[in-house]
């Protein structure tokens, strides 16, 4: 379907008539959470120089006291992402505790939740569920991915506990660092015919099992054919890791690569292999700021570099190039006042405990010049975390299908033509 075109209803092979989803701005969205708690002072206001030279224009030099703590990174090679879209410099995470999981929960559900729990899935449906359920026809799990740099509670963000949504509409979750360190090896070899026979025997067994099996007991479900593709992909990436490809990439030295970059590299691989319509990837290594400010500043630079590589991957992937909107935003900021920990460069560390500064973030929306307003800088306080989900829904054309009252934010229309 061409983005922006109004499509006609069509008949599925099942004979069921579907009205195609509404007009789309683009056919793909990649949402990169520049997470871990990034303060606008260091990102947008460049208090220590331009730590994000791949995203932001300007060549402000890094503060001399922390410069020795910076890793050497390749210089930007393409246009700064800021010039390829609209930058909301004063975005806000307005409500709720400024915790990482709560912030993730908000930007993925479009709802603030004051009582978010680390041990529970989101109360409200995630963007993945909204996308899969309300797109017409419904979308396969292969089309939506949630790629996280850590485990803990983050796997649970691929679908919610909402009884009207749930695992049936969840995203494929992946945490690359664990996947590339250990996949089951040397499997029995079964061709497609044998796999179908196995599936038939398993189906008979499942049909005779009388316990009420709930969908989320086994996480999300891919089709048999898609499972095969994903399995091959996971094994291939594991083999790549064994051969050292995850230790030496993007022209980086092995000892400078951090987990954020590995995570984004894996996201690139997913983009190349599956061209998903909706992919969310996060980074959180900047959270070292609780005890190491200079390490935080350095990891902002690494994350900025990773975003640039993500953009390059999108633009070099047939099917996604010039048809993808990239959204970049932190989940929350950090406190104005430091804690008492001093790093080796004499800088005090920063926590995030819900002061006003910790609610100040940014949002960059980049995309094709005929769809996204280019080089637009919005310096007023405009937009908030809950606006990202409605914006993605508008881009992918299912916003009108979401039941009224489900979302509280708005489409960030300022960024689009």
Q: Check if the beta carbon of residue 52 is closer than 8 Å to that of residue 301.
A: yes
Q: Which H or E run contains 133? A: helix 127-134
> Using the rule CB under 8 A, which residue among 67, 79, 140, 177 binds another protein?
177
Is 266 a binding residue for another protein by CB under 8 A? The answer is: no
> Using the rule CB under 8 A, which residue among 2, 205, 251, 255 binds another protein?
205
Is 194 a binding residue for another protein by CB under 8 A? The answer is: yes
Is 248 a binding residue for another protein by CB under 8 A? The answer is: no
State the Cα–Cα distance between residues 138 and 144, nearest whole angstrom: 12
Enumerate residues 6+ apart whose C-beta is below 8 A from 323.
Answer: 3, 26, 27, 28, 368
Q: How many CB atoms lie within 10 A of CB 100?
A: 22
Polymer length in residues for the chain: 417
Q: What does the block give as tokens for 180?
A: 């590339």
> Using the rule CB under 8 A, which residue among 230, 349, 365, 396 binds another protein?
230
State the Cα–Cα distance between residues 222 and 301, nearest whole angstrom: 36
Q: Compute the least distance from the CB of residue 188 to another protein, in Å.
A: 5
Specify the stretch interacting with another protein by CB under 8 A; choose among 33-41, 132-140, 228-236, 285-293.
Answer: 228-236
Q: Compute the least distance from the CB of residue 44 to another protein, in Å.
A: 33
Q: Which is nearer to another protein, 27 or 263 (CB)?
A: 263
> Using the rule CB under 8 A, which residue among 198, 225, 336, 377 binds another protein?
198
Is 119 a binding residue for another protein by CB under 8 A? The answer is: no
Assign 61 to helix, strand or coil. Answer: coil
> Using the rule CB under 8 A, which residue among 188, 318, 340, 380 binds another protein?
188
Q: Compute the least distance from the CB of residue 144 to another protein, in Å.
A: 10
State the Cα–Cα distance between residues 341 and 412, nearest whole angstrom: 39
How far, in Å, are 42, 134, 259, 356 from residue 35 at the CA level? 14, 27, 13, 17
> Using the rule CB under 8 A, which residue among 14, 119, 208, 243 binds another protein?
208
DSSP state of 413: G
Is 158 a binding residue for another protein by CB under 8 A? The answer is: yes
Q: Which is nearer to another protein, 8 or 205 (CB)?
A: 205
Specify the stretch interacting with another protein by CB under 8 A; choose among 44-52, 220-228, 279-287, 343-351.
Answer: 220-228
Is 218 a binding residue for another protein by CB under 8 A? The answer is: yes
State the Cα–Cα distance between residues 35 and 353, nearest whole angstrom: 15
What DSSP string runs through 6-54? PPPPEE-TTS-EEPPP---S-SEEEEEEE-S---TTTTTS-BTB-S-TT
Q: Which is nearer to another protein, 152 or 369 (CB)?
A: 152
Q: Which is nearer to another protein, 183 or 342 (CB)?
A: 183
Q: Check if the beta carbon of residue 153 is closer than 8 Å to that of residue 118.
A: yes
> Using the rule CB under 8 A, which residue among 184, 251, 318, 405 binds another protein?
184
Q: Check if the beta carbon of residue 137 is closer than 8 Å to that of residue 119.
A: no
Is 179 a binding residue for another protein by CB under 8 A? The answer is: yes
Is 227 a binding residue for another protein by CB under 8 A? The answer is: yes
Q: Which H or E run contains 259? A: helix 259-274
Q: Compute the least distance from the CB of residue 139 to another protein, in Å.
A: 15
> Using the rule CB under 8 A, which residue among 213, 251, 340, 405 binds another protein?
213
DSSP state of 107: H
Interaction site with another protein (CB under 8 A):
141, 146, 151, 155, 158, 170-179, 181-188, 190, 193-194, 197-199, 201-202, 204-206, 208-211, 213, 217-222, 227, 230-231, 234-235
């Amino acid at each position: 379907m061409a983005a922006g075109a109004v499509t006609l209803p069509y008949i599925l092979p099942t004979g069921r008539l579907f009205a195609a989803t509404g007009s789309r701005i683009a056919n793909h969205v990649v949402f990169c959470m520049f997470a871990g708690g990034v303060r606008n002072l260091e990102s947008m206001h460049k208090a220590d120089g331009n730590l994000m030279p791949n995203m932001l224009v300007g060549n402000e030099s890094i503060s001399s006291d922390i410069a020795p703590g910076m890793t050497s990174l390749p210089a930007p090679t393409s246009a700064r992402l800021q010039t390829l879209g609209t930058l909301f410099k004063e975005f806000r995470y307005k409500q709720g505790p400024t915790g990482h999981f709560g912030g993730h929960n908000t930007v993925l559900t479009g709802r603030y939740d004051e009582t978010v729990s680390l041990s529970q899935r989101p109360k409200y449906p995630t963007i993945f569920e909204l996308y899969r359920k309300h797109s017409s026809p419904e979308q396969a799990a292969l089309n939506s991915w949630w790629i996280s740099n850590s485990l803990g509670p983050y796997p649970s963000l691929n679908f919610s506990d909402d009884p009207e949504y749930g695992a049936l509409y969840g995203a494929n979750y992946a945490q690359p660092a664990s996947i590339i360190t250990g996949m089951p090896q040397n499997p029995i070899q079964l061709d497609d015919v044998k796999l179908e026979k196995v599936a038939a025997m398993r189906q008979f067994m499942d049909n005779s099992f009388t316990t009420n099996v709930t969908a989320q007991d086994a996480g999300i479900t891919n089709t048999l054919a898609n499972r095969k593709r994903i399995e091959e992909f996971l094994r291939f990436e594991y083999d790549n890791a064994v051969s050292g490809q995850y230790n030496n990439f993007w022209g980086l030295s092995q000892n400078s690569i951090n987990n954020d970059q590995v995570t984004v590299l894996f996201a690139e691989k997913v983009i190349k292999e599956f061209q998903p319509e909706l992919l969310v990837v996060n980074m959180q290594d900047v959270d070292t700021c609780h005890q190491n400010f200079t390490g935080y500043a350095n990891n902002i630079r690494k994350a900025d570099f990773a975003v640039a590589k993500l953009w390059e991957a999108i633009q070099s992937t047939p099917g996604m190039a010039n048809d993808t909107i990239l959204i970049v935003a932190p989940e929350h900021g950090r406190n104005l006042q430091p804690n008492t920990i001093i790093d080796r460069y004499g800088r005090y560390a920063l926590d995030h405990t819900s002061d006003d500064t910790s609610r100040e973030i940014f949002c960059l929306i980049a995309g094709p010049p005929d769809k996204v307003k280019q080089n637009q800088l919005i310096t007023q306080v405009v937009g908030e975390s809950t606006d990202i989900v409605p914006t993605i829904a508008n881009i992918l054309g299912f916003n009108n299908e979401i039941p009224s009252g489900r979302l509280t934010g708005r489409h960030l229309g300022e960024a689009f033509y």
